[in-house]
Amino acid sequence: MKNNILIIGGGPAGLESASQLQRMGYNVILIEKSPKLGGHLAKWDRLFPDSVPADEVLGGLLRGAEGVKCFTDTDVRAINRLDKSYNVRLTNGITVLSDAVLVASGFDLFDAVKKEEYGYGVYDQVMTNADLEAYFKTGTDRRIENPGKIGFAHCVGSRDEKAGCRSCSKVCCATAVKQAIEMKQAFPNAEVFCFYMDLRLFGRHYEDIYLKAQKEYGVRFIRGRVAEVSENYDGTLLVKAEDTVAGKPLKVTLDLLVLMAGMRPSGVGKAIGDLLEMPVEEDGYFAVRSGIAASQRSPIPGIFLAGAATGPKTLPETLADARAAAMEVDRYLTEIFPDAKNYKQLVKERW
Amino acid sequence: MVDFGFGLVPSSRINLDLFDKDKYRELVKIEPDARICMACGSCTAVCTAGKFVHTSLREAIEDILNAKNDKALESLQACQLCGKCSMVCPRGINTRHLILSINKVYSAK
Ligand SMILES: Cc1cc2nc3c(=O)[nH]c(=O)nc-3n(C[C@H](O)[C@H](O)[C@H](O)COP(=O)(O)OP(=O)(O)OC[C@H]3O[C@@H](n4cnc5c(N)ncnc54)[C@H](O)[C@@H]3O)c2cc1C
Ligand code: SF4
Ligand code: SF4
Ligand code: SF4
């Protein structure tokens, strides 16, 4: 018997799980709320740490998921839990009877407008990491005109109780270092400053790009959080921080400030969570059965999770998580689900 | 003691053995947030008094932990209690309250 599996979210996590589950012989239906597949990956230009083109990675994921029933511009309208399965009504009018649901709803980029003291949306020369990726992809942005001095503000909307997010977004230190290097490549005469509290370059090759940024590109790393930004008459920016290593307040005039907006739980993902009554943790991301031993299982039997829906992840982490989720779905559908008589007992013992 | 053959001006060295545990216990009892500063420097960067006289809450917190109580008080001497630092503190510390408490606990001999 081929079970139906519904995957919610067509980003890297959803695509990779779809591809794996299809290989295992399941009948996969994937829905994506936006008009195209790829999630955030479709917005990035080159990826840290090795500058692999994002399109190349996305192309591979899309090829893997060929044959999967994908509905774009589609969300969930209503979900009913039957005895063991889910009856899901989609916004495109189709109803799916699904034996397992995999939530891969990903993240939203922190809305930098909320961090008023940085002036995003107010001062012309302030942009976000996502805006800069768009510039690298398209080659145009009205804010970028041979900038002489460029700053990167780390931890925007992350590690900040005032912004409602205590945790670290994990990907933005590496993104800042990557983008700092890319800006030096594009504008060799520019002076580039990174304002950080801790440089979290934890992954394989990450420290290498930090070293490269220092040694080959002369990027200045200043240990202090950007405290406030104001605009000068000529449109340049006055940025204030403390150089906590020197122990002195610091100011610098910049032509461009790039905000490392962090990751927040997906808004449309949350709406799905509400329909499914999925518990969330204090950080707003979906709760898992066990953070160590069962991090792709929701506390609700039959519901699985993959990717940034359970907290900030890099792409390799997201893809590994997606493959693990596929294994978990398979295990559930072969070991627990088919045994109608003992289903409740098995769930109690093994979920 | 091993003699390394060079001297240090005592006041410039951090000697954690001199850390005043009792005073610190007294401080965190009334001000538990004294423990949660992540040394980001935002308070110091925006400080209104700091434009004119060296003023730094971040440094004061650090100095207390490094057994430099007098230096800590010096770093806060010019504070106007304007509260600007509390607006930027990413850990949400009530900085003015903390400054008052530091002064209270560490000024008492
Ligand atoms: C600025 C930035 C740069 C980055 N650069 C890199 C990098 O260089 N290298 C790297 O390893 N990682 C990078 N990352 C991390 C990478 O983007 C994530 O690991 C990855 O996007 C997570 O994939 P995901 O599928 O879990 O989530 P997403 O990419 O967010 O995809 C989720 C998808 O689900 C859809 N969805 C959500 N809810 C619903 C719903 N209810 N119905 C239908 N569809 C829904 C969304 O529309 C979206 O398409 C970066 C992250 C940021 C913020
Ligand atoms: S990864 Fe770096 S920039 Fe991003 S939240 Fe963590 S410490 Fe801040
Ligand atoms: S309250 Fe004191 S330390 Fe804080 S900004 Fe004002 S003057 Fe500076
Ligand atoms: S702003 Fe808050 S966290 Fe940052 S150094 Fe000052 S007291 Fe510490």
CB contact under 8 A, A249 and B45: yes
Distance separating alpha carbons of residues A161 and A164, to the nearest angstrom: 5
Could you tell me if A334 and A229 lie in one domain? no
Distance separating alpha carbons of residues A233 and A242, to the nearest angstrom: 24
Q: What is the mean pLDDT of residues B75-98?
A: 97
Q: What is the mean pLDDT of residues A61-79?
A: 97
Chain B contact present for A114, CB below 8 A: no
Q: How far is CA A196 from CA A58, A149, A225, B33, in A?
A: 30, 17, 6, 22
Instruction: Give me the pLDDT at residue A315, please.
Output: 98
In a domain, B89, yes or no: yes
Domain holding B71, by residue range, is 36-107
Distance separating alpha carbons of residues A254 and A220, to the nearest angstrom: 13
Residues in B touching A159 (Cβ below 8 Å): 38, 90
Convert the pLDDT of each residue in A317-332 to its tens digit. Answer: 999 999 999 999 999 9
Instruction: Give me the pLDDT at residue A134, please.
Output: 98
User: How far is ligand 1, taken at its centre, from the CA of residue A262, in Å?
Assistant: 12
Backbone angles phi, psi at A94, to 5 degrees: -80, 145
Could you tell me if A248 and A279 lie in one domain? no
In a domain, B102, yes or no: yes
Cβ atoms of residues A291 and A284 within 8 Å: no
A39 contact partners, CB below 8 Å, separation of at least 6? A9, A10, A11, A12, A13, A14, A106
Instruction: Give me the pLDDT at residue B41, please.
Output: 98
Q: Which of residues 35-94 of B touch A (CB under 8 A)?
A: 38-47, 50-51, 56, 58-59, 88-92
Q: What is the mean pLDDT of residues B57-85?
A: 97
Chain A contact present for B31, CB below 8 A: no
CB contact under 8 A, B39 and A244: yes
Could you tell me if A101 and A42 lie in one domain? yes
Nearest to B41 by CA among B60, B22, B56, B19: B56
Per the model's pLDDT, the better-predicted residue between A2 and A205 turns out to be: A205
Q: What is the mean pLDDT of residues A116-132?
A: 97
Q: Which residue CA neighbors atom 4 of ligand 4 most closely? A: B40
Torsion of CA B47, B48, B54, B60, to 10 degrees: -40
Site of tokens 């081929």: A2
Residues in A touching B88 (Cβ below 8 Å): 117, 227-228
Is the distance from the beta carbon of residue A48 to the nearest atom of ligand 1 less than 6 Å? yes
In a domain, B6, yes or no: no
Total domains in the fold of chain A? 2
Domain end residue (candidates: A220, A246, A262): A262
Chain A contact present for B30, CB below 8 A: no
Q: How far is CA B103 from CA A89, A134, B71, in A?
A: 63, 50, 12
Cβ atoms of residues A72 and A36 within 8 Å: yes
CATH number at residue A93: 3.50.50.60
Q: Is B81 left (phi over 0), alpha (psi -120 to 50) or beta?
A: left
Total domains in the fold of chain B? 1
In a domain, B84, yes or no: yes
Q: Residue A202: what residue type?
A: F
Closest atom, ligand 4, to C-alpha of B36: 3
Could you tell me if A281 and A173 lie in one domain? no
Convert the pLDDT of each residue in A158-204 to its tens digit. Answer: 999 999 999 999 999 999 999 999 999 999 999 999 999 999 999 99
| Chain center to CA of A246 | 34
Reading the block at residue A164, the tokens are 């409602």
Instruction: Give me the pLDDT at residue B12, please.
Output: 81
Output the average pLDDT for chain A.
Answer: 97
Could you tell me if A286 and A193 lie in one domain? no
For residue A158, what is the enclosing H or E element?
none
User: How far is ligand 3, taken at its centre, from the CA of residue B79, in Å?
Assistant: 5
Domain holding A287, by residue range, is 4-106+266-350
